[in-house]
């Protein structure tokens, strides 16, 4: 302690006669340092156990809480979660690469990223190399403060207009050139690229802060609310006050494999009267409107969608301007794209249209061949009153009464059935089959009985039947994670030709291999995915991956790479996959004939399909007649050898 005292400036020494007071000041100065935060994050990155990681996160938070500066704590959490602003600062990885080429002009960043896939690590190693070449002993370096970093992001956010892209690059280049510590530049770049790569999610942060709050006997309730509302921008409880502009986690539905399971599911809630709704092949959207503040569109993942659907925003503004009876509202619906005849385009066509418009100079031009519209199916807030606690029938009626079908707004196709009447149940089944025959995505079944509030905390009282239900196969597609790739051969040379997919194990906190996939890809997708995922390449297999020793892919990806939706013919037993091995002896579970459908950029890897769901589907499949596991396994082995 005396050694620390001797290093203090004289003015600090004079004001530090009392030892406890000195300790407080010293700790306070430490937590204000960006290097202090970066060093703690580096320590957390070396922890493989999730529970140990949460504990380390608690210790980090406690360092800031003890100082009593709540604003500093919130600034730290913004950096920790890469939430430097409620709206994303649009700096793509490709722009960061160009910026680093200017800062470190003599280095080969492309080769480094292909081998290691970490742009922050690149900046760290290049600065280390630069300091060594300059024989800089780093004893006189000026460390950044957290406040300086936050102020930088505020300046970056405020740059707008035609020259904003160039001005942002210049601002970042000048700031990077001032950074003198390799660890600081590594985590600054990672925050700028919105990926710390240390296994921390919003849920981890909330979990750690909740644990501290319990230990302190709920004395941090307000701080916890501030983190949820001011940093993450969402409400997580039914009784919390909903606000316009603050997204609410969407209510989800339980996938069911057949109509018998649907009845069992609804019986659990004593549901008889239900609404059957067409499931559109679009993108989930929450619409927030206020006469004074305008419109915000939020994705399923609570991200702002205005830039993705500018035409829809423009048309919704015209729609609401005509209606004096609507002061403000929060609506739930599905965005689709139609042609001039009203035919709904596929999700893939919708995404291609969005990208084409973003790349053009006339994003707001109305395109008769690609009309953006929204099908409404729920309402949470209307004219300054929240209704998420009201029953489903009441909410649906408000939508019908106040939101006319006009312009970009339509109502989700729905029909009410009483399942206690056999005739109604048969008609419901026929309508679902009709939807499938018409190549629709499927159907949603929603209970209309009492206590059917809008539940954001679990999959309750909504069920979904997707197109696989008629084939006797699976009722749902799977959201999986590409964790590795194999170089393509022949016409696929120069790109990744096939991938190793995994799903997430919530209990073990690891990513477990599920299958290989090489079908369902277009040539363009293979090239685009190779270009994207090169940025996620790791030098070695991450510790969180559970993969059989026989798999030797050409490259491994980081665990935050992407989420893909795939379909398959069925689930099969396989000796080289580990999911369900404890349940089924020597064999695990794999997907038989998997086919790629689309990228789920609205989901994080931890929101992918869990192994419990895989096991549940497999058990249901095994219970069905004419299930030949041996044939499935043999076919799966043949497909993998071909891949």
Supply the pLDDT for residue 307: 85
Q: Which residue has the tokens 């296994």?
A: 199
C-alpha to C-alpha distance for 429 and 425, rounded to whole angstroms: 6
Please state the rounded mean pLDDT for residues 530-539: 88
pLDDT tens column, 7-20: 333 333 333 333 33
Per-residue pLDDT for 298 more than 80? yes
- pLDDT at res. 623: 60
Comparing CA positions, the residue from 620, 579, 513, 595 lying closest to residue 255 is 620
Lowest average pLDDT, out of 47-61, 183-197, 249-263, goes to 249-263
pLDDT in tens, 240-257: 578 888 888 888 888 787
Determine phi and psi for 223, rounding to 5 degrees: -65, -40
Classify the C-alpha dihedral 492-493-494-500 as positive or negative.
positive
% pLDDT > 90, the chain: 30
Better-predicted residue by pLDDT, 107 or 511: 511
| Residue 6 pLDDT | 36
Local confidence band at 82 (pLDDT 50, 70, 90 cut-offs): confident
pLDDT category at 25 given cuts 50, 70, 90 is: very low
CA dihedral 80, 82, 87, 91 (to 10 degrees): 160
Q: How far is CA 175 from CA 77, 142, 151, 179, 185, in A?
A: 21, 13, 11, 7, 10
pLDDT tens string 136-165: 655 566 789 999 999 998 888 888 766 777
Mean predicted confidence (pLDDT) in 42-57: 87
Crossing angle of helices 50-65 and 70-80, in 10° steps, is 150
The band of 535, judged by pLDDT with boundaries at 50, 70 and 90, is confident
Which residue, chain included where needed, has tokens 């041996």? Answer: 630
Which tops the pLDDT comparison, 571 or 349? 571
Q: What is the pLDDT of residues 378-415, one digit of tens each?
A: 999 999 998 988 889 999 999 999 999 999 999 999 99
User: Once rounded to an integer, what is the mean pLDDT over residues 594-601?
Assistant: 87
* pLDDT classification of 506: cutoffs 50, 70, 90: confident
For residues 255 and 253, what is the distance between their CA atoms, to the nearest angstrom? 6
* Enclosing H/E stretch for 70: helix 70-80
Residue 83 in this model has a pLDDT that exceeds 60: yes
- Residue 294: pLDDT over 50: yes
Q: What is the mean pLDDT of the chain?
A: 80
Rounded Cα distance between 419 and 423, Å, is 8
How far is Cα 260 from Cα 419, in angstroms, rounded to an integer? 12
Most confident of 196-210, 234-248, 390-404, 500-514: 390-404
Per-residue confidence at 278, pLDDT binned at 50, 70, 90? very high
pLDDT at 537 over 70: yes
Q: Which residue has the higher pLDDT, 86 or 489?
A: 489
Domains observed in the chain = 1-28 (no CATH), 93-192 (1.10.3260.10), 254-471 (3.30.470.30), 478-642 (2.40.50.140)
pLDDT in tens, 413-426: 999 999 889 999 99
Lowest-confidence pick of 178-182, 207-211, 366-370, 539-543? 366-370
* Closest C-alpha to 406, from 279, 320, 290: 320
pLDDT at 204: 83
Q: Give the separation between CA 38 and CA 30, rounded to whole angstroms.
A: 12
Q: Residue 85 has which token pair?
A: 């602003």
d(CA 543, CA 563): 19
% of the chain with per-residue pLDDT over 70: 80
DSSP 130-181: HHHHTT---TT----BHHHHHHHHHHHHH--STTHHHHHHHHHHHHHHH---
Cα–Cα separations (whole angstroms), residue 477 to 143, 357, 565, 569, 578: 49, 29, 7, 10, 20
In this prediction, residue 195 has a pLDDT band, given cuts at 50, 70 and 90, of confident
Q: How far apart are CA 15 and CA 9, in angstroms?
A: 10
Question: Are the C-beta atoms of 297 and 313 separated by less than 8 Å?
Answer: yes
Greatest mean pLDDT range, 168-182, 517-531, 567-581: 168-182
| pLDDT of res. 355 | 56
Band of pLDDT at residue 450, cut at 50, 70 and 90? low
pTM assigned to the model: 0.52
């Amino acid at each position: 302690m005396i050694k620390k005292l001797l290093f203090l400036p004289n003015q600090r020494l004079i004001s530090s006669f009392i030892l406890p007071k000195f300790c407080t000041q010293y700790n306070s100065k430490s937590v204000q340092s960006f290097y202090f935060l970066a060093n703690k994050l580096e320590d957390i990155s070396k922890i493989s156990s999730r529970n140990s990681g949460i504990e380390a996160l608690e210790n980090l938070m406690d360092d800031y809480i003890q100082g009593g500066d709540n604003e500093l704590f919130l600034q730290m959490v913004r950096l920790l979660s890469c939430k430097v602003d409620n709206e994303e600062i649009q700096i793509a990885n490709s722009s960061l690469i160009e910026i680093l080429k200017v800062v470190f002009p003599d280095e080969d960043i492309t080769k480094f990223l292909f081998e290691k896939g970490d742009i922050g690590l690149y900046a760290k190693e290049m600065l280390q190399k630069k300091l060594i070449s300059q024989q800089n002993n780093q004893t006189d370096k000026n460390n950044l403060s957290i406040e300086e970093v936050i102020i930088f992001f505020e300046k970056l956010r405020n740059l707008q207009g035609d020259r904003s892209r160039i001005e942002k690059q210049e601002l970042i280049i000048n700031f990077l050139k001032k950074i003198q510590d390799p660890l600081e530049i590594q985590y600054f770049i990672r925050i700028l690229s919105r990926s710390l790569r240390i296994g921390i999610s919003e849920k981890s942060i909330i979990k750690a802060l909740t644990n501290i709050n319990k230990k302190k006997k709920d004395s941090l309730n307000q701080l916890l609310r501030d983190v949820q509302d001011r940093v993450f921008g969402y409400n997580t409880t039914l009784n919390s006050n909903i606000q316009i502009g603050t997204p609410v986690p969407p209510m989800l539905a339980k996938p069911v494999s057949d109509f018998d399971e649907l009845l069992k599911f609804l019986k659990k809630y004593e549901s008889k009267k239900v609404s059957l709704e067409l499931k559109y092949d679009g993108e989930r959207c929450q619409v927030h409107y206020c006469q004074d503040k305008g419109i915000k569109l939020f994705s399923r993942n609570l991200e702002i969608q205005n830039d993705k659907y500018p035409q829809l925003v423009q048309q919704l503004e015209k729609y609401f301007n005509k209606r004096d009876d609507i002061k403000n509202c929060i609506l739930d619906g599905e965005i689709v794209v139609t042609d001039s005849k009203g035919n709904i385009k596929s999700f893939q066509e919708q995404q291609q249209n969005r990208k084409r418009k973003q790349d053009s100079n006339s994003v707001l031009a109305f395109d008769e061949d690609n009309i953006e519209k929204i099908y409404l199916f729920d309402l949470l807030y209307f004219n300054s009153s929240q209704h998420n606690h009201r029953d489903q029938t009441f909410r649906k009626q408000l939508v019908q009464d106040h939101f006319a079908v006009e312009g970009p707004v339509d109502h989700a196709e729905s029909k009410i059935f009483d399942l206690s009447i056999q005739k109604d149940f048969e008609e419901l089944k026929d309508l679902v089959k009709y939807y499938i025959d018409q190549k629709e995505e499927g159907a949603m079944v929603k209970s209309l009985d009492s206590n059917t509030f809008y539940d954001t905390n679990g999959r309750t009282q909504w069920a979904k039947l997707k197109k696989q239900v008629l084939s006797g196969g699976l009722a749902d597609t799977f959201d999986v994670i590409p964790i590795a790739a194999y170089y393509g051969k022949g016409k696929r040379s120069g790109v990744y030709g096939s991938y190793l997919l995994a799903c997430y194990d919530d209990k073990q906190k690891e990513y477990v291999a599920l299958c290989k996939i090489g079908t369902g890809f277009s040539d363009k997708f293979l090239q685009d995915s190779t270009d994207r995922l090169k940025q996620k390449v790791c030098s070695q297999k991450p510790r969180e991956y559970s993969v059989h020793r026989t798999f030797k892919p050409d490259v491994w990806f980081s665990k935050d790479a992407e989420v893909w939706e795939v379909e398959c013919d069925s689930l099969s037993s396989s000796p080289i996959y580990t999911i369900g091995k404890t349940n089924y002896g020597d064999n695990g579970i794999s997907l038989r004939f998997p086919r790629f459908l689309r990228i789920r950029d609205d989901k994080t890897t931890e929101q992918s399909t869990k192994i419990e769901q895989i096991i549940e589907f497999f058990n249901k499949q095994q219970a069905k007649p004419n299930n030949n596991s041996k044939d499935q396994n043999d076919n799966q082995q043949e497909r993998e050898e071909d891949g």
